[in-house]
């Protein structure tokens, strides 16, 4: 605060803060008429000039250059000109306020009275963001920009000692790096972290000595420095073998090492950084890592994302959230299969996705070849003789054999060799059997089967019964990829069974009959079709009901739902209202409902290797193949070309 007194005894006050510049009284425009001393007039003018200069100097950092110049020019003339008008003074006052407000809003740093930068006050999260930005700019070579960022913000990318340590590593000064590492010891939390870091540094030194053809020095490093750490003994023994290679190229390959230089040292630095806390040294490529996590989360939450694989940063724009449209989703019928003459009860793609099997009340098993480019189905073979119709189809893990089961009245099952297009075996154990369900073990040479009359068999590929379990009335079977046998029974339960010890364990219990179920590839989730209730999702590990899906019409008929999508994040099921319902796994309400069938849809099978196609089987005697509009156009074009030729 600057204070002066005019000749009449009035006190003038100039209040100065970071945002405003005000005066308690207007600055005098003329001499006091009662004052006959001209020297007093000159003194007042000089004081006013000095006050204005001090004001301008103090607010210099808050004003634009043009404003500062204007203020200085105004106060550089004689006293009468400097105070000729209150309007000029108010004009200066308003410009100062406007300029300073703009500066504060942009959060810029400004110089203090002694010319040093006064950084804006940043929150902890803002400081971390600035550090991440600085690290990224540094990684792409914009070092001058990083210097400006550090200078203006007052933030540093990493601890000074850590920065020195990095420079020594990247320049290959191993002895100095080990000394610098000791200074960082206080920041390393892992009890043996310092030893592990030394080992990594000395390992790099050892490899570079070998490359420099300094075998004796490398041996000394191995014997006296690396072995002296007394850790990672097996790795140390392995290091000795790299001295024996005649070719550096062979040594690089065996050691999985890129050779002396920037890349290998940068890889070393990334390994070392994992031992240091982030407030001392940022983890490598931290901003890219965070952005990749954000992209993965957006992919997971995208309702219609079906593109195979995981999105990377180059696949998306960081300027907007990732979102797929319905047009990228399998939502149109690209082919209708009409070879069956009666209700189609089951359909299933082979594990390798090259074939589709369909089973019907007409007693025929149809095998289709799948064009993996257009997803067009071509009938390959019809297998007949299933007099009670086909209610269940099970492909072996190698996509060669398929088991076919009938209805409750059927006491036999068939194993067909699809490649040889012949029957491999036919199993009939007793006339009282009801074999309605089957599932292969991961080996592809054995399977389990059973039915509603209490039969439960463990068999080989030729249909020979190896073991049996009495009194289990089965509705559906499944074997996980790790060999766990799961069965739904008439008691509304799903249990796991072990034939070697004849022990079982209940996992799920529902309030209504379980008509069918399937399990996710990782064995974690089970998808159940429940009589009169619809589709339920269960967590088999936690034994908890996860979600009940809405919309589908489910009575007391058997219906088969399916997982689908790149990571099985979608669920599809047929319905007795002749529609196909599709949900995102996390949403109870359907995201799409497909029309096209004219009667109950009994089964849906999603392609195991391409998320862009699935099949639905219906009582209207047809099987519909669903894919994206793009594939629909491709098939129409292909059909048009075939017709014209």
Q: Is the pLDDT of residue 515 over 90?
A: yes
Using an 8 Å Cβ cutoff, are 330 and 628 in contact? yes
Highest mean pLDDT among 204-208, 279-283, 634-638: 204-208
| Average pLDDT of span 544-572 | 92
Pairing of strands 401-405, 412-417: antiparallel
Tell me the two tokens of residue 220: 């000394």
Query: What's the pLDDT at 6?
Result: 42
Q: What confidence tens digit (pLDDT) does each residue in 340-349 have? A: 999 999 999 9
Q: What confidence tens digit (pLDDT) does each residue in 135-147 have? A: 899 888 898 999 9
State how far the Cα of 238 lies from the Cα of 222, in Å rounded to an integer. Answer: 11
- Residue 225's Cβ-side half-sphere holds a number of Cα atoms within 13 Å equal to 21
Query: What's the pLDDT at 15?
Result: 36
Q: Which residues contact 451 (CB under 8 A, 6 or more apart)?
A: 408, 433, 434, 435, 436, 437, 473, 474
Distances from the Cα of 283 to the Cαs of 135, 269, 278, in angstroms?
10, 10, 6
Q: How confident is the model at residue 51 (pLDDT cuts 50, 70, 90)?
A: low
Query: What's the pLDDT at 329?
Result: 84
Phi and psi (nearest 5°) for 134? -60, -45
Among 91, 75, 92, CA closest to 83: 75
State how far the Cα of 360 lies from the Cα of 602, in Å rounded to an integer. Answer: 11
Q: Is the pLDDT of residue 535 over 90?
A: yes
Q: Is the pLDDT of residue 350 over 90?
A: yes
Query: What's the pLDDT at 80?
Result: 39
Query: What's the pLDDT at 71?
Result: 41
Which residues, listed in sequence order, are joined to residue 21 by a DSSP beta bridge?
16
Q: Is the pLDDT of residue 326 over 90?
A: no
State how far the Cα of 2 lies from the Cα of 16, in Å rounded to an integer. Answer: 9
Q: Could you give the percent of the chain with pLDDT greater than 90?
A: 56
Q: Is the pLDDT of residue 65 over 80?
A: no
Task: Lowest mean pLDDT of 24-28, 247-251, 605-609, name the range.
Answer: 24-28
State how far the Cα of 484 lies from the Cα of 498, in Å rounded to an integer. Answer: 8
| Average pLDDT of span 206-235 | 94
Q: What is the CA radius of gyration of the chain?
A: 40
State how far the Cα of 137 lies from the Cα of 310, in Å rounded to an integer. Answer: 26
Query: What's the pLDDT at 485?
Result: 95
Pairing of strands 377-383, 392-395: unpaired
Pairing of strands 623-627, 332-337: antiparallel
DSSP codes, 90-148: HHHHHHHHHHHHHHHHHT--EE-TTS-EEPPP--HHHHHHHHHHHHHHHHTT-HHHHHH
Measured in whole angstroms, how far is the alpha carbon of residue 24 from the centre of its chain? 61
Q: Which residues contact 215 (CB under 8 A, 6 or more apart)?
A: 209, 243
Query: What's the pLDDT at 399?
Result: 96
State how far the Cα of 106 lies from the Cα of 344, in Å rounded to an integer. Answer: 69
Q: For residue 332, what is the DSSP state?
A: E
Q: How confident is the model at residue 352 (pLDDT cuts 50, 70, 90)?
A: very high
């Amino acid at each position: 605060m600057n204070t002066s007194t005019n000749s009449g005894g009035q006190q003038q006050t100039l209040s100065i803060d970071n945002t405003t510049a005000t005066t308690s009284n207007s600055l005098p425009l003329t001499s006091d008429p009662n004052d006959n001393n001209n020297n007093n007039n000159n003194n007042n003018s000089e004081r006013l000039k000095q006050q204005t200069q001090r004001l301008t100097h103090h607010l210099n950092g808050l004003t634009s250059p043009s404003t500062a110049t204007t203020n200085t020019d105004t106060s550089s003339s004689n006293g009468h000109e400097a105070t000729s008008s209150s309007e000029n003074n108010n004009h200066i006052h308003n410009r100062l306020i406007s300029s300073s407000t703009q500066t504060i809003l942009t959060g810029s740093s400004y110089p203090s009275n002694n010319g040093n930068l006064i950084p804006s006050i940043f929150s902890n999260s803002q400081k971390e963001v600035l550090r991440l930005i600085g690290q990224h700019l540094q990684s792409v070579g914009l070092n001058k920009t990083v210097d400006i960022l550090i200078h203006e913000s007052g933030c540093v990318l990493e601890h000074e000692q850590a920065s020195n340590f990095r420079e020594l590593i990247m320049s290959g000064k191993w002895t100095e790096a080990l000394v610098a590492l000791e200074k960082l010891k206080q920041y390393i939390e892992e009890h043996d972290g310092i030893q592990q870091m030394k080992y990594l540094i000395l390992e790099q030194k050892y490899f570079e000595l070998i490359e420099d053809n300094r075998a004796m020095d490398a041996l000394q490093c191995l014997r006296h420095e690396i072995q002296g750490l007394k850790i990672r003994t097996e790795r140390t023994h392995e290091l000795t073998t790299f001295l024996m290679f005649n070719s550096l190229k062979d040594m690089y390959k065996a050691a999985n090492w890129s050779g002396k230089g920037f890349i290998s040292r940068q890889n070393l630095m990334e390994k070392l950084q994992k031992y240091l806390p982030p407030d001392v040294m940022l983890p490598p490529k931290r901003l890219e890592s965070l952005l990749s996590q954000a992209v993965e989360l957006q992919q997971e939450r995208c309702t219609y994302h079906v593109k195979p694989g995981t999105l990377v940063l180059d696949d998306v724009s960081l300027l907007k959230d990732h979102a797929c449209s319905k047009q990228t989703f399998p939502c149109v019928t690209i082919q209708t299969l009409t070879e069956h003459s009666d209700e189609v009860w089951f359909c299933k793609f082979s594990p390798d996705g090259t074939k589709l099997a369909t089973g019907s009340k007409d007693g025929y098993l149809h095998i289709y070849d799948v064009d993996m480019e257009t997803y067009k189905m071509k009938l390959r073979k019809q297998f007949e003789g299933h007099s009670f119709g086909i209610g269940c189809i099970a492909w072996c893990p190698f996509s060669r054999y398929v088991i076919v089961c009938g209805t409750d009245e059927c006491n036999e099952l068939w194993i067909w060799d699809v490649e040889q297009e012949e029957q491999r075996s036919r199993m009939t154990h007793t006339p009282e059997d009801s074999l309605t369900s089957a599932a292969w073990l991961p080996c592809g040479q054995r399977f389990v089967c059973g039915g509603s009359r209490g039969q439960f068999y463990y068999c080989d590929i030729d249909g020979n019964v190896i073991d049996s379990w009495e009194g289990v009335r089965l509705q559906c079977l499944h074997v996980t990829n790790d060999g766990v046998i799961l069965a739904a029974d008439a008691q509304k339960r799903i249990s796991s069974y072990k034939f070697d010890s004849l022990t079982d364990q209940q996992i799920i219990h529902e309030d209504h009959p379980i008509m069918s179920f399937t399990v996710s590839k990782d064995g974690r989730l089970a998808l159940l079709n429940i009589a009169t209730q619809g589709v339920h999702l269960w967590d088999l590990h936690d034994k908890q009901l996860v979600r009940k899906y809405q919309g589908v019409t489910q009575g007391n008929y058997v219906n088969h739902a399916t997982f689908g999508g790149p990571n099985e994040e979608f669920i599809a099921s047929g319905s007795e209202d002749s529609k196909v319902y599709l949900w995102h796994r996390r949403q109870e309400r359907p995201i799409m409902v497909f029309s096209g069938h004219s009667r109950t849809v009994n089964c849906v099978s999603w392609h195991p290797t391409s998320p862009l196609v699935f099949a639905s089987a219906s009582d209207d005697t047809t099987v519909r193949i669903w894919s994206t509009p793009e594939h629909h156009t491709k098939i129409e074009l292909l059909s048009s070309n075939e017709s014209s030729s």
